[in-house]
Structure 1
């Protein structure tokens, strides 16, 4: 066959394949969704959603689509986004029987963990094991590990602040420093030792992709970001997954390498800890991995090594990515709120912190900050405005009778999601000042039942974040320590963000100096 014949056949069969694969199902299998509006391409495939995942702007594209088309938007050939707080109960509540979408299979590295397993029985087993590591009593015992890392963190920030100009302020990007402290804390909790990012002042971890293979230094946060970006994209385009390593786009090749590197970070850290199990100092440790090693599932069996690595990897991702992104965003929004309404945020927050934390202490303790009402309102308002878990977490309808939302019926097999970012920015729920940082909207007298239903920073139902108590503890300690110890002034007009699985501030430039 010569080249002309080959091109001729391609010109016939490729369009024919597109028609059969994308267009025919629109008129046959998915006719029940044709009345739901959405971007034109999204009616036929997941390419529209994958395109914006590839750009790191999925949350923004979905938000814009809802503003254009309304409460229900068809964002994929079989995927409906519901921008309504009542959808949270419908899609994520206990007892509805929904399953995680095949989207999550792209996040499996090794064996499935509690985050990405789609099997209901396996998830129940894994969650029961992992939940012991995040009970209220266990969380309190984690504080000593957090304190050691926070102490190193403020020493580094003290040195930066000491290099101030004539007004006493130094300039620093808080995003990397939020990343360093979050990685070191979760390293300490999940693996028995911090990664050393705070002490080194750079994003660096050891990784061993293959057992017995070479140990290499890799950028942990960068690796995590790339893994989130590529997995979120491939989760929407499952037919590309087997070929991702061979695609000419470096987004996919570098992303797949990051998947391996991230697994290597967790694998090496777990191996180090298991090798040190017999040492007295390790036997006395009370951390997540120690609890996972001691725990048994309903079947009476402990976790195997590959399962330990997968669960530890889940904790690494959840405990570093979400805490670093959220803490940085909260700092930004506190300072932005103060800039927009001088004297209404920082003085009030610092007064509350000063009254709770003795002047002799370099860092806050959990007992000192856990019940501070204005600090908690600032944290909640920062989580609402930023929405680290901004994308709609996709679930598959499994009931044979389907499910109804208002007058729309979604049969078995339909994928539904509720976009947290859009619900958190709905002026009908939060008021016309929805884009402003107003912590007192979370005060008991202002926080309405509708807002309570809509506020969803940790997801909801049986798949809600199992580590949210640890996350809130970390956020209180990080933000409380920083705001109490330093004077801070925001140096950028707006916070730009990119999104892998979670939403990440690109940077957060501030001026900093020690408070008198």
Structure 2
């Protein structure tokens, strides 16, 4: 059919060809709107979004999807049409329906754009395959298993604190780093951008847990990782000590590029994607996807070539069994390790940076947290807080949760396809095949749940508001059977990191009105956070 049309256009004059192309384009987009196969024409939204996926594609490429979708909800109400077949629902009650256990809804083809080595637990859309993978992976992140990873987490938090201690001592002498180091001493404080440092911390922790060795970023104070020049050669020689040609890359930068590419590609129709990959911006993003996969391939290959009895995520992945007693293939293990690298580094670093920012911007909350830390941990000599210590710190949990509410690292509405039989959400029926999503960014700013001061960082609200409403609305790790399997580890990391850092240092912003600038790929990431650090007199 397409070949016949192409031949037809070749035999027509230029003006006629242009006319036919434009007419075809209009019909392709107008007819579905007029026919309205999913019965969603009644929902408001941007005009272009009703006819084409282009609107959402441009929004995603510009890096502020959650904020813009939120503005659309403020303009149009709780139901907003984001694309010809996609409706966003900004109501807390919708969360329990769209993402519920047993409702039959599947992940949309959005997730196909996140597949690189092979499908993992995150981007698997088949229900049975996901159940198989989840059975293998979920036990790794049980509360009991997570405690086994505490020593590695504490090790690298301690390394970060010692690096900041070293720089702080130099800052007191009014010294500064060389150009590119990004730190200086001024006014009795160490001034630095905390984002790169928490990136180094998160990458070294997940490197140790997922691959058996850190990337060495904290020690080097630099964004670096090693990847093979030829990935296929490494895959062919898994488990051997064959020499491999490698190169260094900026892993954090590559990870950011991969997230933006996959997000933007995922909202395009599958038929458009081959063409989009030829465009310069998308071509660069595709290279980032391939390069990031190389980090996992290289790290897993190195680990498998050197057998060890240490307990970490990779060893548990290798030992895991599905319901038939089968283990994962090496390719599957590598794909899951890549997922752990992405999820375990970016989410932790983004959240840590945001929480430090909000505490620096809110001195009252910072002092209250430090009072709790001093009272509960003050007499103990450990530089880094332990799991047992952070369990008894309710205000710490409130500070973390309030940061995750305002800066949900996964802020967008994750798309789900309505199953056979349809789905009724808030008295609105959606037929099979419709794509629905509930944006965390928006429901985390619902004044009915959080109060009229919902834009303020106020941890006290976690003790004042109706807990039932909070529990049904707070969604930092998604909800239902496809929720983040690593949430126990992620929260433990944040507890230890924030408790240890805030116990040792106090933070201020250069400008009290300084905003936390962000850019959103799949995750919503801070672009930087310059803070003034002072070692506390109590230590």
TM range (shorter): over 0.9
Query: CA–CA distance in 2 between the matches of 1:407 and 1:463?
Result: 25
Equivalent residue in structure 1 for 2:290, among 253, 257, 260: 260
User: Is the 8 Å Cα contact of residues 398 and 413 (structure 1) preserved in structure 2?
Assistant: yes
Q: Tell me what 2:238 maps to.
A: none
Query: Residue 378 of structure 1: which of 399, 411, 419 is its match?
Result: 399
Question: Which residue pairs with 2:39 in the alignment?
Answer: 32
Please list every run of 5 or more consecutive structure 2 residues that lacks an aligned counterpart in the other structure: 1-6, 173-184, 234-243
Distance 1:112 1:197 in 2: 28
Question: What corresponds to 1:16 in structure 2?
Answer: 23
Q: Secondary structure at the match of 1:377?
A: helix
CA contact (8 A) 2:38 2:85 kept: no
Task: Tell me what 1:341 maps to.
Answer: none
Give the CA deviation at 1:239.
2.6
Instruction: Give unpaired runs (5+ residues) of structure 1.
Output: 339-343
The answer for the alignment partner of 2:320 in structure 1 is: 295
Q: Do the aligned residues in 2 keep the contact of 1:370 with 1:473 (CA within 8 Å)?
A: no
Displacement of 1:5 after TM fit? 5.7
Shift in Å at residue 427 of structure 1? 1.5
Q: Report the Cα offset of residue 452 of structure 1.
A: 2.0
The question of 1:221 aligning with 2:252 is answered: yes
CA separation of 1:510 and 1:4: change in aligned 2, threshold 3 A: farther
Instruction: Give the structure 1 partner of residue 411 of structure 2.
Output: 390
* CA distance in 1: counterparts of 2:245 and 2:88, whole angstroms: 45
Q: What TM-score does the superposition give when structure 1 sets the normalisation length? A: 0.94
Deviates more, 1:190-199 or 1:358-367: 358-367
CA–CA separation in structure 2 for the residues paired with 1:38 and 1:133: 42
Residue from 113, 117, 121 that aligns with 1:110 = 117
Separation in 1, partners of 2:166, 2:13: 67
Alignment match, 1:128? 135
1:433 is paired with a residue of what secondary structure? Answer: coil
Alignment of 1:282-361 (within 5 A): 282-283=308-309, 285-338=310-363, 344-357=364-377, 358=379, 360-361=381-382
- Give the corresponding residue for 1:476: 495
Does the Cα contact within 8 Å between 1:30 and 1:78 map onto a contact in 2? no
> 1:31 offset after TM fit, Å?
6.2
For residues 264-285 of structure 1, the C-alpha deviation after alignment (integer angstroms, 9 at most, x for no partner) is: 00111110111111xxxx21x1
| Preserved CA contact (<8 Å) 1:441 1:447 | no
Corresponding position of 1:505: 526
C-alpha separation in 1, matches of 2:380 and 2:14: 77
Q: 5 Å matches for 1:131-142?
A: 131-142=138-149
2:263 and 2:465 mapped to 1: Cα distance? 36
Q: Does 2:243 match 1:236?
A: no
Assess, with a 3 A threshold, how the Cα gap between structure 1 residues 139 and 254 changes in structure 2: closer, same or farther.
same
Separation in structure 2 between the aligned mates of residue 230 and residue 17 of structure 1, nearest angstrom = 28
Paired residues of 2:258 and 2:285 also in contact (CA < 8 A): yes
Distance 2:324 2:226 in 1: 35
Out of 418, 421, 445, the position equivalent to 1:425 is 445
SS of residue paired to 1:133: helix
Match of 1:495 among 507, 516, 535: 516
Residues 217-255 of structure 1 show CA distances to partners (whole Å, capped at 9, x for unaligned) of: 1111111111110111111112332234421x3x21211
RMSD: 1.7
- CA distance in structure 2 between the aligned counterparts of 1:166 and 1:35, rounded to whole angstroms: 59
User: What's the offset of the Cα at 1:10?
Assistant: 3.2
Deviates more, 1:162-171 or 1:468-477: 162-171
Query: 2:305 aligned with 1:275, yes or no?
Result: yes
* Match among 73, 85, 90 for residue 83 of structure 1: 90
Alpha-carbon contact 2:38-2:431 (below 8 Å) kept: no
Residues 349 and 374 of structure 1 are in contact (CA less than 8 Å); yes or no, is this contact kept in structure 2? yes
Cα distance change of structure 1 residues 225 and 189 upon mapping to structure 2, 3 Å threshold? same
How many pairs align?
A: 502
Q: Give the superposition deviation at 1:399.
A: 2.4
SS of equivalent to 2:39: helix
SS in 1 for 2:231: coil
